[in-house]
Structure 1
Amino acid sequence: MTSHRRPSSPRLGLAALACGAGLALGGCHAERIVADSYPTTVAQRHPIVLAEGSTRLDLPVGAGAQGLTSRQKEDVRAFAADWRKNGRGPIGMMAPAGAFGATAVRSALASAGVPATQIVSQRYTPAGPEEIGLVKLGYVKLKAQVSHACGLWPDDLGSGGGDLYGATENREYWNFGCANQQNLAAQVADPEDIARPRAEAPIYAARRQTIIEKHREGGDTTTGYRQADAVVSDVAKE
């Protein structure tokens, strides 16, 4: 009786050979040899990007108000100063129909250095008769922010086995550094500094001339600073 054997597949033979080699090194492991690794640096995981934001100022002027209070005038001056520094476009103003305070707001903006051509106004009707009319000011500004929200936890750190490759490679977990990036973006004075460095300021010509003269005369070009010696006990007596 003749027995017939099924021809073995080349792929099965290679798989068995690979598994046999793995057993010799400690066992045939079914997991992925190379993990899908996320970026290892904070700047790559949580990049700071530039986006358009808005700044608003609501003034409870009221329909019958003829002017602004002292605090409202200060708010308008601060709002105008920030617009001159960070504004990207005109100032939008929405005033309730029949509000005399809109004229006072325009005057306050003009006195704060905002041209009349940079104010785009529009009227609106309050929702109810008892609702006080708000003069709403706003403009678009450039802001820096992280491209996504913080607090994302794709791996379970509590069980100790969620981030298998992170634990073995001693790498940072995904959310690490996101809050610091958000705080850094919020503290940047000029968001464009995130995109490119500023140009170098011109050198101090007067100091340069002084150094050149001292160098020509063979003198000492260093700067001498006077520092008064102070004793802690003498300071405590005062």
Structure 2
Amino acid sequence: MMRFQGKRNAGPWRRMGAVLPRVAAALAIGALLTACTVQSEKSVKGWLVADPTARHPILVGSTPVTLDLAVPRGSYGLTRNQTYELRSFLRRYREKNEGPLIVGAPSGGANEIAVMHAMGQLRREFTSLGISRNEVRFDAYSGGGAGSAPIKVSYNSFAAQAPECGDWSDNLARDPKNIPYRNFGCATQRNLAAMVANPRDLVEPRGMTPRDSQRRDVLMGKYVKGDTTIAKKAKEEKVKASEVSGGGGN
């Protein structure tokens, strides 16, 4: 006699039917969480995470520095104050040492004879400060008949342009991304541009001075003989550890 086994086989299907809704619910919740995660993640601009020197760069360019020396008609060269100004100007040029020194002399003006006397003074000042002829370029320009057309002394110098600061648009009280704010590092860059003595140092390092050949020969001689090359210290420079620490009290 055959018995119907349908009820016995229906158990797994009943259990599967109970599990499927749970799986579907879990998948739905996972999809919602994934959607929230995608929406919350926003791209970060590259300049925000860059180094402050890249976000707030110091621009270095060449700019002309000019000194105008007025030479009135009938004068016998430069005045005392003009000579002082010229010397100060030439010293700054020697410190920077950037390119040729350009001297523009007026020609065809009413003060042409006075200009000739002043040019003689300029050449003497160049020589006294160690400026060679190869460093100076003389040009002539039309004085236009003026009675006091100036002698123009100029050279090109590097100048540093500081970045503009003051962008406080970010909320510093809340920063879930933990990235630098827009104005971060700008003040340091601006102060550096204002304080640098020679902006050319921001572009390339200065040339090294030659080493002391006399000291080098002394050290090499000691090295060849097998002697110590360490400099001898004076008695005042020698300190014992006990003297540095001092005595302890009770």
User: What interval of TM-score do these two structures reach, taking the shorter chain for normalisation?
Assistant: 0.5 to 0.7
In the alignment, what sits opposite 2:15? none
Identity %: 16
Deviation, structure 1 residue 204:
2.6
In the alignment, what sits opposite 2:137? 118
CA 216–67 in structure 1, closer or farther in 2 if over 3 Å, else same: closer
1:214 to 222, 225, 231: 222
Separation (CA, whole Å) in 1 of partners of 2:211 and 2:45:
50
In the alignment, what sits opposite 2:211? 203
The residue matched to 1:66 in structure 2 has which SS? coil
- Which structure carries more helix by proportion? 2
In the alignment, what sits opposite 2:148? 133
Separation (CA, whole Å) in 1 of partners of 2:159 and 2:179:
31
- The unaligned stretches of length 5 or more in structure 1 are 1-15, 230-238
In the alignment, what sits opposite 2:117? 104
| TM-score, reference length from structure 2 | 0.59
Deviation string 1:60-81 (CA, Å, 9 cap, x unpaired) is 4333322222221122233334
2:32 to 12, 16, 20: 20
Native 8 Å contact 2:222 2:228 kept in 1: yes
CA 205–67 in structure 1, closer or farther in 2 if over 3 Å, else same: closer
Instruction: List structure 1 runs of 4+ shifted beyond 6 angstroms.
Output: 16-19
Greater Cα radius of gyration, structure 1 or 2: 2
- The unaligned stretches of length 5 or more in structure 2 are 1-27, 238-250
After superposition, the CA RMSD in angstroms is 4.0
Count of residues paired in the alignment = 198
2:75 to 51, 65, 78: 65
Separation (CA, whole Å) in 2 of partners of 1:31 and 1:212:
68
Deviation string 1:31-55 (CA, Å, 9 cap, x unpaired) is 6612224153232123344421111
2:194 to 171, 177, 183: 183
